Amino acid sequence: MMLTALSSVEFCTVISSDYPDIVRLAAFIAFVASILTIVVVFVIFYNRVAKLKARKIADEADNIILEELGEHIFNYDSVDDIPEHELKATVRTLNSLKNQSSALRNSVVRLLVYFQKNLTGAVSRIVSSAYSRLRLREFALRKLRSSYWFYKTQGLAEVQAMKDDHSLPEVYKLLKDSNQDVRVAAYTVLLRLKAKDCFDFMVKEPDELSDWHQIVLHDAMVKTEGLEIPDFKIYFSSENTSIIFLSIKLIVDYKQFNAIPKLLSFLDHDDERVRNHLIMALGQLQAENGEDRLIERYAAESIKNKAAILIALGRISSGLAVKFITEKFLEAEHFLVLKCAAAAIFSHPEPLREKILKDLPDLNNEQKAILRHVAEPSNNYGIL
């Protein structure tokens, strides 16, 4: 330890002596560094021991709860099959356990939420019944009312997993929370529980949604069975660009072909990113009536969007844009444009593709190489 190199006695001697100021300063810094090193090592050691102890307590709590659930709850096929006296006794035992310590209480909640999320059928109904009888909703509500955002998101996750409609009034209060993670978690709960106004966030969300938030919300929509899906083109008027991105993706996922005219009308949007999403969506929807509009936009677009237009035309593959795609392939000066034009050629049905390739004039080495590249079966549209 550094402290052994300079004892406290030696330190006092140096500080109080006639040593030069630089020496005394160095001695002081060395002494303070030694003390800080000892403190840091102690804190690290303490934290590791505390975490191990907490993990051990949590594991023991899980074992106790799992044993109780396994012996008296999960060995039945349905709630109705559980004898009333045994169900009441089990609920009393679990209720007593959850009141003994926070570790046991957290274990009860965590395990029931886990089983509800990952199991279906009779077990799911049994878990839901146990959750209700143990009045664990109160603990979720406490988290929703917490001043800490991470407790709020935990509570929202529990409400979502347990499909707890009774907690919706508290969920609605979080729609105006200052933390966007909390708001997105609340939107997700409303979607999962199929609340009647679950899509209102697409009008009211004040901030740009991150890519991750969009993925979370998209996942909640597409994985919720029986969710009443709106016509997503109505959200194009939003000033929130991320809402437009999400709407475009959902139009593609739900095959809302009636939105194609709206997509085409928005190709003059000021934001290049929006135009890029629109172009890709038109290709994915195979909007044949949009080919002329895409060709018209080509000259004014950036390299990235030009490449997206070529890919979109290739996906549409009506044959009407063959001349345009071929010209862009032969004239390409940028590698991305060259690659995407080649990919567009290979996206056409085989008879037409073979005719296009046959009609190509003499090609340079780079053009030949890129055609061989996109011809590989492992490539999708020529892009690895």
69-106 pLDDT tens trace? 777 677 766 666 777 777 777 777 777 777 777 777 77
Residue from 290, 367, 215, 383 nearest 279 by CA: 290
pLDDT tops 80 at residue 237:
yes
pLDDT (mean) for 246-253: 96
pLDDT given for residue 83 in this prediction: 76
3-class SS at 273? helix
Q: How would residue 136 be classed by pLDDT, with cut points 50, 70 and 90?
A: confident
Q: How would residue 145 be classed by pLDDT, with cut points 50, 70 and 90?
A: very high
Phi-psi region of 302 (alpha: psi -120 to 50; beta: other; left: phi over 0): beta
Neighbours of 67 (CB within 10 A): 10
pLDDT tops 80 at residue 122:
no
pLDDT tops 60 at residue 252:
yes
What are the CA-CA distances from residue 38 to residues 11, 49, 51, 167 (Å)?
17, 17, 20, 49
Query: For 113, what's the count of Cα atoms within 13 Å in the CB-facing half-sphere?
Result: 19
- Tell me the C-alpha distance between 170 and 149, whole Å: 14
Mean pLDDT over the full length of the chain: 86
Widest Cα–Cα separation across the chain? 96
pLDDT given for residue 339 in this prediction: 94
Neighbours of 229 (CB within 10 A): 13
Q: How would residue 144 be classed by pLDDT, with cut points 50, 70 and 90?
A: very high
pLDDT tops 60 at residue 1:
no
- Tell me the C-alpha distance between 142 and 146, whole Å: 6
Q: How would residue 267 be classed by pLDDT, with cut points 50, 70 and 90?
A: very high
Task: Write the pLDDT tens digit of every residue in 41-57.
Answer: 999 998 898 888 878 87
**Higher per-residue confidence, 20 vs 215:** 215
pLDDT given for residue 292 in this prediction: 94
Neighbours of 72 (CB within 10 A): 18
pLDDT given for residue 91 in this prediction: 75
Neighbours of 298 (CB within 10 A): 15
pLDDT tops 70 at residue 148:
yes
Is the whole model's pTM more than 0.95, yes or no? Answer: no
**What sign results for the dihedral spanned by CA atoms 113, 116, 117, 119?**
positive
Q: What is the DSSP string of 49-79?
A: HHHHHHHHHHHHHHHHHHHHHHHHTTTSSSG
pLDDT given for residue 95 in this prediction: 75
pLDDT tops 90 at residue 131:
no
Residue from 306, 325, 303 nearest 371 by CA: 325
Q: How would residue 139 be classed by pLDDT, with cut points 50, 70 and 90?
A: confident
pLDDT tops 80 at residue 328:
yes
The DSSP symbol for 383 reads B
pLDDT (mean) for 248-274: 95
Query: For 88, what's the count of Cα atoms within 13 Å in the CB-facing half-sphere?
Result: 3
Give the burial class of 44: count Cβ atoms within 10 A of its Cβ; 0-12 exposed, 13-18 middle, 19 or more buried.
exposed
pLDDT given for residue 382 in this prediction: 43
Contact present, 252 and 281 (Cβ < 8 Å)? yes
pLDDT given for residue 379 in this prediction: 64
pLDDT tops 70 at residue 173:
yes
